[in-house]
Amino acid sequence: MKTASRPLFVFAGGGSGGHLQPGLAVAAELQRLLPGAEALFLCSAREVDRRILSAAAADNPWLDWAPTAGARGGTGLWRLGEPLRLGRESLRAYRRLRTRRPMVVTGLGARASIAGCVAARLLGVPLVLLEFNVIPGAATRLLSLIATECLTGLPVGEVSARGLHCPLQHAGVPVRASIAGLHSELYISEPGLPRLLVLGGSQGAEEVNQLVLEALSGGVRGQVLPPDWQIVHQAGEAGAAGVRERYARLGWSVRVESYLGDMASELRAATLVISRAGAGTLAELACARRPAILLPLRAAAGDHQRKNAEYFATGLAAELVAGGLADAAAVVQLRGLMGELSRDADRRQRMSVAAARLAVPDAAARAASAILNIAAISAR
């Protein structure tokens, strides 16, 4: 049974695995450094939050979670009625926290983080922001006005940094310990059976699904990928059945999953990855030393996924396909890259080495240490 004397750390945000998984990695590190500490996640009402946090809480008796933000996507701070909705959500978070004073509240970015971060300000609790992307989001820029410090993940450019109004400290993007540990495994001998891993994000991505299928359907089985290659495709809850049926029509035996729980094992078994370009996913690819083809989400706020992908492409750790499904050239480019990289082990090896150089496997420890330092200063 939990007791009121245990130190409490609150994480505000959610709506995707890209926001929640880094927070969970930091929470685990805080509990390692401060045994008995509790972690409370104030998240959104999305199903992905329930699935990820329920699984984490089942394995950790000192972790709890509560939806305080709505399920609306995006930040959209100036939409009609949005300030009123955010006010109600902030009051809900304030009521959830006022009986216990957290040591620190950590904002995980995006709209779902605002309520918990505002509640921290109302309670006089130190507020730390985690900004993972090259281009800071609107929520981070707004909340930096009341934050104690912002810990950055991928390098934030000088121009973007000027839009943040609190001290910055580079920590890297925290990743799960099981994936951080992959960084010490040399990517010299590839998996026995070559495997393409397709990741559409924690909620799937229809455009990724369709782009990959269009690229693969452009020729017979051995023309795009060598015939001995396996495919594992994370398609999302809404897309899995349709993707599975499409592969069957192509005559291919492919493992299609709505969600992949053990990502460390999937990355270890992957020879090549096709993925979106969220900062959390890129950090995991770097720690796992996996070469990748990146398909940035074009609707991402501030085009931050493209900027993230460009950082990895410039570092020679990944290839970038900038267009979408409506762009025929993007399909042709993706098909060509799949064919080239699946047949060139030396090139994959060079990309693996480059990815390892971009990794920050101890990012969770860096972030946890910074949060504990702020907690100690606040307690004096």
- CATH number of domain containing 201: 3.40.50.2000
The answer to whether residues 191 and 136 belong to one domain is no
Three-state DSSP state, 65: strand
Rounded to whole angstroms, the Cα distance separating 320 from 341 reads 13
Question: What's the mean per-residue pLDDT of the chain?
Answer: 90
Crossing angle for the helix pair 240-250 and 206-216, to the nearest 10 degrees: 0
pLDDT of residue 72: 60
The structure tokens 């925290």 sit at: 174
- Determine what percent of the chain is predicted with pLDDT higher than 70: 91
Instruction: Render 100-149 in DSSP notation, one character per residue.
Output: S--SEEEE-SSGGGHHHHHHHHHHT--EEEEE-SSS--HHHHHHTTT-SE
Residue 365: half-sphere exposure toward Cβ, Cα within 13 Å: 7
Identify the weakest region by mean pLDDT among 241-255, 271-285, 295-309: 295-309
pLDDT of residue 179 exceeding 70, the answer is yes
E strand segments, the chain: 8-12, 38-44, 63-69, 104-107, 127-131, 149-152, 168-170, 195-199, 230-234, 255-257, 272-275, 292-294, 318-320
Mean per-residue pLDDT for 158-174? 93
- The answer to whether residue 157 sits within a structural domain is yes
Crossing angle for the helix pair 279-287 and 17-33, to the nearest 10 degrees: 60
Mean per-residue pLDDT for 336-355? 95
The answer to whether residues 210 and 154 belong to one domain is no
The answer to whether residues 194 and 337 belong to one domain is yes
pLDDT of residue 336 exceeding 90, the answer is yes
Three-state DSSP state, 34: coil
- The answer to whether residue 2 sits within a structural domain is no
Rounded to whole angstroms, the Cα distance separating 59 from 375 reads 26
- Dihedral of the alpha carbons of 320, 322, 327, 331, in degrees to the nearest 10: 10
**Which residues on adjacent β-strands are paired with residue 150?**
129, 168
- The answer to whether residue 244 sits within a structural domain is yes
Distance of alpha carbon 11 from the chain centroid:
15
pLDDT of residue 1: 37
**pLDDT band for position 222 (cuts 50, 70, 90):** low
**pLDDT band for position 351 (cuts 50, 70, 90):** very high
Q: How many separate domains does the chain show?
A: 2
Return the HEC string of 267-279.
HHHCCEEEECCCH
- CA-wise closest residue to 338 among 248, 190, 222: 222
The answer to whether residues 163 and 201 belong to one domain is no
The string of pLDDT tens digits covering residues 101-159 is 899 999 999 899 999 999 999 999 999 999 999 999 999 999 999 999 999 999 998 88
The string of pLDDT tens digits covering residues 36-49 is 999 999 999 998 89
The answer to whether residues 84 and 142 belong to one domain is yes
pLDDT of residue 76: 56
Mean per-residue pLDDT for 274-282? 94
Structural domain harbouring 64: 8-175+362-379
pLDDT of residue 160 exceeding 90, the answer is no
- Dihedral of the alpha carbons of 347, 348, 350, 353, in degrees to the nearest 10: 180
pLDDT of residue 174 exceeding 70, the answer is yes
**pLDDT band for position 2 (cuts 50, 70, 90):** very low
pLDDT of residue 377: 85
The answer to whether residues 24 and 153 belong to one domain is yes
- The answer to whether residue 3 sits within a structural domain is no
For residue 318, the 8-state DSSP code is: E
Identify the weakest region by mean pLDDT among 47-61, 62-76, 154-168, 249-263: 62-76
**pLDDT band for position 82 (cuts 50, 70, 90):** confident
- The answer to whether residue 1 sits within a structural domain is no
The structure tokens 């810990």 sit at: 151
The answer to whether residues 230 and 352 belong to one domain is yes
Long-range pairs, 81-90, Cβ under 8 A, ≥24: 86/114, 86/115, 86/118, 89/114, 89/115, 90/114, 90/115, 90/118, 90/119, 90/122
pLDDT of residue 220: 59
Rounded to whole angstroms, the Cα distance separating 129 from 117 reads 9
The answer to whether residues 70 and 27 belong to one domain is yes
The string of pLDDT tens digits covering residues 225-269 is 998 999 999 998 888 999 999 999 988 889 999 889 899 999 999
pLDDT of residue 212 exceeding 90, the answer is yes
Residue 352: half-sphere exposure toward Cβ, Cα within 13 Å: 24
The answer to whether residues 220 and 301 belong to one domain is yes
Return the HEC string of 218-242.
CCCHHHHCCCCCEEEEECCCCCHHH
The answer to whether residues 37 and 106 belong to one domain is yes
The answer to whether residues 162 and 194 belong to one domain is no
The answer to whether residues 22 and 68 belong to one domain is yes
- The answer to whether residue 19 sits within a structural domain is yes
**pLDDT band for position 70 (cuts 50, 70, 90):** confident
**Which residues on adjacent β-strands are paired with residue 234?**
199, 257
- CA-wise closest residue to 26 among 177, 182, 149: 177
- The answer to whether residue 263 sits within a structural domain is yes
- The answer to whether residue 14 sits within a structural domain is yes
